[in-house]
Structure 1
């Protein structure tokens, strides 16, 4: 039931302020180019000043042995896990924290991070239940059945909404491990109605479900050198901070289901039909996708719901998480991909229902293969044996498996937007294998470290897929509308995930755009790519923080980028650089050259301190001090004696100093330089964010020239600068940022034309430069007291 409500709509914004500390806020300089200094965490033995892991770096580990039972009739998942947790930290631990993410689906167990709400114009009966008081338990969330140690002894635990603390029976010291067991179950939510990353989608036409089983088991939190326990609540947005480990998972499902999961299946020969297993073996050496489970088989399976059961066994090493999918609707294809950098043989695979066949069969597995190969070029070689894409009408990532959308119309046609969107989301989600599944940042705190870095590398990968690919995020011009927003609707990239208003532009697009500007405009591709690969290599299978990324990019490139991190990541200022004024000047050959001149002067008097300060007085009175010039008589030169009145010089006598003038240009020089025109271009930094000055000059004869001044030109005046150029032909126009590389929010003030110019006309005098100049340390031709006294020592 829907109904209309007339209401006033009140908007409110919660702005998270970044810690962009200014050293000299009242000045036009000394702010934007100051080092980040105390803003970044202090380097230590765990995290080096270079951005690399320190010599004392450590991280804890957790291995999982899990069994799961999928009850399709009740839409319930029952699980039992044995966790072996290794304390590699130097700290004693008396409790540990786990994540119970499925509690976010519960009306009574969720984190309950509420937002401001207003009366809607229309709503649904289901949405009315959101504010039922008192809240009624909707039956979702984790039901803990048993929590014990390895011997079966009960453990004390506390559940705080989406987090769970287990009190250890004894202190867990460095180098020790603790083994414990948890039995649990939960009702699987309808993902299409309730939202979230995991759950089921029901296909009413054939009466089948497609299950995406994610964040499904109690998972260890990260205990780190920089934060201790990362036990922030899961609200549905900020994603995950997880430890690496080995997984062995057994999944008992209806016998006609197919399963895709993290890692490698160890019993395909037992769970597949003979024909399917034969096709899988063929796919292991194929260079084109082979249908392992065919479309016809999927259509037939939809019609019969088996009451038999099968158990699939998967294993994965050095992963931070495990996810899986199960359905009888799946078509399944795969092929072998070789990663050139490490010669790793990877099975690229896709699972999809018939509704997606027209798109997924043609594009999905090849997009998976392209992604892992391209990311391997820009980061580290893909290390895992499997990479797969599952069509599940959403977009979410886990190690070696991700869930994406991409379905055709019933007649098999599709729009170009759906096709490109599907390819883009597959690249993005498969790319998450690198950020953050391997380069394992804390997504719950710093979304940009996985979403932003991944979106940037996604853009590079889309570009290598098709030069005409319509990337939504990455090019500088695509972020302009976001950067134009009022400051009260913005927050710095360096904001906690939960506090961001416009999550997509802030966590995905702005960091991706910033990195692309660094690569294309500021650092150059070669320098940037080497530094970016260094970061990926240093922090693969580790837990990086923002400072580790910032410092590594500078350490590996030799570029001081603190000004960029400060402005783009810690601030909310946009780029808006304008051409304020152009002054045009031509040579003045008629002004007579400056002739030589004479000035009168007197030689220097003895050097005397202006004030006999207390230190000098006390040093003279201190009989234990013997001054060097008194100990070594060879140091007592003419000026030692002169300053003490022992040498006499007439300081009233006047001398004459002659200075050279300038020379007129000869006829040939005037002819050569007669067409010279000077242009002084005055720029204003209206937006606040400094950027390089990129100029394209178009001359009256149609020719063009380009020039770029680095962002450092703003270091002595962050508000306005000028550049002067001398050309032998006249300018028709000047274009600032011609390729829209800097995300300038106002391009209307980036252009000057001589046709409608209000440029000031001026003259500049032009002479021949004489060869003159003083030698550093000499007296510039004037008589010094030693010369006046006729002495050389």
Structure 2
């Protein structure tokens, strides 16, 4: 058997695009402002055209009772679980799908979504794998020991990579529930060498481990009205689609470990020391973080190796997932946070090793508190009893618990970048409690619906943390470098999670930037915030899809935003609006207006000379009667004129005079004496339409701003011109002065040499008499001409 050395590098994969259909692709109009009706799914009784859940909306549910045993020495986790699955759908189900996400680490049961690879120039032994063909089992992934029904009767099942199908002995009818029992185990991977969201980290200095137990039990897949079973494989990127339920979980761990998890601890009095339990009670009413497990206690525990064991018990209601952490290294602090929107008192908590103490002790729990309070204002009130940040050199989220980075140097100091990065990741991961833990989108399919929306509210929250906070994602100018990339390196936001090349910019930054542009530049803060809150309220504890978001934002605001969704989410065109030319002119008020003489002939009868097929058939149909045949009072001069019974010379030339203007008075002329007029010509070089935002600077140093809505491009998506009239002379024009549209080329956004006036236009006062529509025109009509004969 030959053995080859293979290095794995990120490569290109096939792309799936949500198509941006164009109705008039060869035209300069009729594409960018067309509605999304041909793209969005058809509304129904489950999901309405307004973006709200329909009257027959449903979703299934799964409750879990799990017992877990953590073997620290063998790095093994085993568990036994009971799932109660509720079929609330209108469909009979004859099998169930579950997720075995830990198979991601298996050499034989992973999803098999390979990346293109090449020989490295530099690599490490940890990144190399000796390739043995056929593939050998590396010992990782879920081992299923028993799969039975509620009475212990074995059930047939099939494992397909990271998914597991369980065949039911009889159809699970609508409205029924089914009890499923599974015993399983798996070897816990070293997260820092094997990658992934869960696993363990080893600290060689003190010989301890920090366990992050995530995606750790067989979890029910989502069965939905819009897709059926979501049983796409877990590749490690596209995250999770999960159902809500209630959890009761017990974790048997070494007695000197501290455990934190989703939900509330139900036996803290038994597993904590008396002093620690008293501090826990104290923290429930504290306005600043209280150490429940102190630094001294954690440092002392690092040196112990208890042979005894403890069982921690936690419960959680209405959550879509459950994760936990265990280590003897943890310092634990907590404080109370009051959510005014619903009156909920939340325990904001942080657990962290001593390596993060100088950062986490000061900032983590405070950042947790700030996040859930701020998100509650912009979305829905935080409903859960706890919110926790765990320092684990990571960045990943689960209900009520998340894992973040933030360690100091060995002397306790840290860089500003480390501090700001830690605060940013805590806000981001705690914010995921709202997207997707409460507003429960399908991450496996649409990463942007949780990462993008969450990154947007993260930006709002960072701004309220510190006005000088260096947010990396959200401001329009921060997406420019990505949007400058060649088109073949870009894909629409509406692309499946597995197939995105530039994952961070596409799934996080571009949607967050787009929402910020909507809020600040297109809709305005008040209107946007109301619509965004409406979406959050409508879809809290439900399963929204992209169309539900797009439709709700329009329904709740009264704004037609299809052009924005089409361009920013379904397209790859960047924003690049250019000032191409500025023309100046002045007004001449000195001349008398000149009347115009117009020559004309008498109008011919208005009947079309060609008799179309409908007229011919109507005449042939003897059953039809015409009104003018039965009511002779409806016959007038023109009835006879059309039929040749009235004769008028339509070749004779006549004339009439048009005199619509009058000269300005001396006072009016003085008013416009210093009028300066400008025509500004713009071109849309990038393709994505945006509002035109201008800042005018005048020769006297004063400034004015103006903004034209994106609809200025609706008749011509490539070129528009705008005319302005000022009472003073322009010095320069700046397009997008606050960099709020993500314009990728600022070199064509400034015009600093205003030309001298190249022309003069006549300025008069409008006469009003005779201007009513349908009134006198000055022309002889056929009836008048007939009377003059």
Which residue of structure 2 lines up, in the alignment, with residue 165 of structure 1?
Answer: 165
- Measure how far apart 1:610 and its partner are: 1.1
Which residue of structure 2 lines up, in the alignment, with residue 408 of structure 1?
Answer: 408
Using the TM superposition, name which of 24-33 and 211-220 deviates more. Answer: 24-33
Q: Is residue 768 of structure 2 the alignment partner of residue 771 of structure 1? A: yes
Please state whether the residue corresponding to 2:450 is helix, strand or coil: helix
Please state whether the residue corresponding to 2:766 is helix, strand or coil: coil
Which residue of structure 1 lines up, in the alignment, with residue 83 of structure 2?
Answer: 83
Q: Is residue 669 of structure 2 the alignment partner of residue 687 of structure 1? A: no
Distance 1:502 1:599 in 2: 65
Could you tell me whether the CA contact under 8 Å between 1:15 and 1:489 is conserved in 2?
Answer: no
- Alignment map for 1:19-58 (pairs within 5 Å): 19-58=19-58
Which residue of structure 1 lines up, in the alignment, with residue 717 of structure 2?
Answer: 718
CA gap of 1:600–1:736, structure 2 versus 1, over 3 A, is: closer
Which residue of structure 2 lines up, in the alignment, with residue 512 of structure 1?
Answer: 512
- Measure how far apart 1:410 and its partner are: 1.1
Q: Is residue 739 of structure 2 the alignment partner of residue 740 of structure 1? A: yes
CA gap of 1:689–1:405, structure 2 versus 1, over 3 A, is: same
Which residue of structure 2 lines up, in the alignment, with residue 178 of structure 1?
Answer: 178
Please state whether the residue corresponding to 2:337 is helix, strand or coil: strand
Please state whether the residue corresponding to 1:690 is helix, strand or coil: coil
- Measure how far apart 1:647 and its partner are: 4.4
Could you tell me whether the CA contact under 8 Å between 2:98 and 2:221 is conserved in 1?
Answer: yes
Cα shift readout 1:712-757 (whole Å, capped 9, x = no counterpart): 0011111111111111111111000000000011101100112xx5
Which residue of structure 2 lines up, in the alignment, with residue 369 of structure 1?
Answer: 369
Distance 1:99 1:335 in 2: 35
Distance 2:700 2:759 in 1: 23
- Alignment map for 1:66-77 (pairs within 5 Å): 66-77=66-77
Q: TM-score, normalised by structure 1?
A: 0.96
Using the TM superposition, name which of 630-639 and 511-520 deviates more. Answer: 630-639
Could you tell me whether the CA contact under 8 Å between 2:261 and 2:325 is conserved in 1?
Answer: yes
Please state whether the residue corresponding to 2:302 is helix, strand or coil: helix
Distance 2:166 2:10 in 1: 43
Distance 1:10 1:295 in 2: 41
Could you tell me whether the CA contact under 8 Å between 1:582 and 1:760 is conserved in 2?
Answer: no
Distance 1:108 1:166 in 2: 20
Distance 2:166 2:525 in 1: 49
- Measure how far apart 1:124 and its partner are: 2.6
Which residue of structure 2 lines up, in the alignment, with residue 780 of structure 1?
Answer: 777
Q: TM-score, normalised by structure 2?
A: 0.96
- Measure how far apart 1:673 and its partner are: 1.7
Distance 2:111 2:287 in 1: 47
- Measure how far apart 1:538 and its partner are: 0.5
Which residue of structure 2 lines up, in the alignment, with residue 344 of structure 1?
Answer: 344
Coordinate RMSD, CA, aligned: 1.9
Could you tell me whether the CA contact under 8 Å between 1:247 and 1:316 is conserved in 2?
Answer: yes
Which residue of structure 1 lines up, in the alignment, with residue 200 of structure 2?
Answer: 200
Distance 1:789 1:283 in 2: 100
Structure 2, unaligned stretches of length 5 or more?
Answer: none
- Measure how far apart 1:73 and its partner are: 1.2
Which residue of structure 1 lines up, in the alignment, with residue 752 of structure 2?
Answer: 753
Distance 1:183 1:418 in 2: 42
CA gap of 1:739–1:531, structure 2 versus 1, over 3 A, is: same
- Measure how far apart 1:632 and its partner are: 2.9
Distance 2:490 2:303 in 1: 52
- Measure how far apart 1:135 and its partner are: 2.1
Which residue of structure 2 lines up, in the alignment, with residue 218 of structure 1?
Answer: 218
Distance 1:313 1:228 in 2: 34
Could you tell me whether the CA contact under 8 Å between 1:61 and 1:87 is conserved in 2?
Answer: yes
Which residue of structure 1 lines up, in the alignment, with residue 449 of structure 2?
Answer: 449
Cα shift readout 1:328-367 (whole Å, capped 9, x = no counterpart): 1111111111101100111111111111110111111110
- Measure how far apart 1:24 and its partner are: 1.0
Distance 2:460 2:719 in 1: 34
CA gap of 1:190–1:653, structure 2 versus 1, over 3 A, is: closer
Distance 2:130 2:512 in 1: 36
Please state whether the residue corresponding to 2:742 is helix, strand or coil: coil
Aligned length: 782
Using the TM superposition, name which of 260-269 and 635-644 deviates more. Answer: 635-644
Using the TM superposition, name which of 193-202 and 642-651 deviates more. Answer: 642-651
Distance 2:385 2:11 in 1: 49
Cα shift readout 1:677-703 (whole Å, capped 9, x = no counterpart): 111111111111111000000001000
CA gap of 1:698–1:600, structure 2 versus 1, over 3 A, is: closer
CA gap of 1:738–1:594, structure 2 versus 1, over 3 A, is: same
Could you tell me whether the CA contact under 8 Å between 2:396 and 2:429 is conserved in 1?
Answer: yes
Distance 2:130 2:510 in 1: 33
Which residue of structure 2 lines up, in the alignment, with residue 643 of structure 1?
Answer: 642
Which residue of structure 1 lines up, in the alignment, with residue 539 of structure 2?
Answer: 539
Please state whether the residue corresponding to 1:155 is helix, strand or coil: coil
Could you tell me whether the CA contact under 8 Å between 1:329 and 1:352 is conserved in 2?
Answer: yes
- Measure how far apart 1:412 and its partner are: 0.8
Q: Is residue 152 of structure 2 the alignment partner of residue 147 of structure 1? A: no
Cα shift readout 1:562-601 (whole Å, capped 9, x = no counterpart): 11011101111111111111111122345x4342233444
Which residue of structure 1 lines up, in the alignment, with residue 462 of structure 2?
Answer: 462
Which residue of structure 1 lines up, in the alignment, with residue 597 of structure 2?
Answer: 598
Structure 1, unaligned stretches of length 5 or more?
Answer: none
Using the TM superposition, name which of 637-646 and 336-345 deviates more. Answer: 637-646
Please state whether the residue corresponding to 2:135 is helix, strand or coil: coil
Distance 2:66 2:598 in 1: 95
Please state whether the residue corresponding to 2:182 is helix, strand or coil: strand
Distance 2:32 2:471 in 1: 31
Which residue of structure 2 lines up, in the alignment, with residue 137 of structure 1?
Answer: 137
Could you tell me whether the CA contact under 8 Å between 1:579 and 1:681 is conserved in 2?
Answer: yes
Which residue of structure 2 lines up, in the alignment, with residue 675 of structure 1?
Answer: 674
Could you tell me whether the CA contact under 8 Å between 2:10 and 2:116 is conserved in 1?
Answer: no
Please state whether the residue corresponding to 1:183 is helix, strand or coil: strand
Please state whether the residue corresponding to 2:723 is helix, strand or coil: strand
Please state whether the residue corresponding to 1:37 is helix, strand or coil: coil
Distance 1:304 1:38 in 2: 65
- Alignment map for 1:253-264 (pairs within 5 Å): 253-264=253-264
Which residue of structure 1 lines up, in the alignment, with residue 664 of structure 2?
Answer: 665
CA gap of 1:94–1:11, structure 2 versus 1, over 3 A, is: closer
Q: Is residue 582 of structure 2 the alignment partner of residue 577 of structure 1? A: no
- Alignment map for 1:136-535 (pairs within 5 Å): 136-535=136-535
- Measure how far apart 1:604 and its partner are: 3.0
Using the TM superposition, name which of 321-330 and 619-628 deviates more. Answer: 619-628
Please state whether the residue corresponding to 2:553 is helix, strand or coil: helix
Could you tell me whether the CA contact under 8 Å between 2:597 and 2:657 is conserved in 1?
Answer: yes
Distance 1:69 1:10 in 2: 36
Could you tell me whether the CA contact under 8 Å between 1:593 and 1:662 is conserved in 2?
Answer: no
Distance 1:649 1:207 in 2: 111
- Measure how far apart 1:613 and its partner are: 2.4
- Measure how far apart 1:651 and its partner are: 5.1
Using the TM superposition, name which of 778-787 and 499-508 deviates more. Answer: 778-787
- Measure how far apart 1:20 and its partner are: 0.8
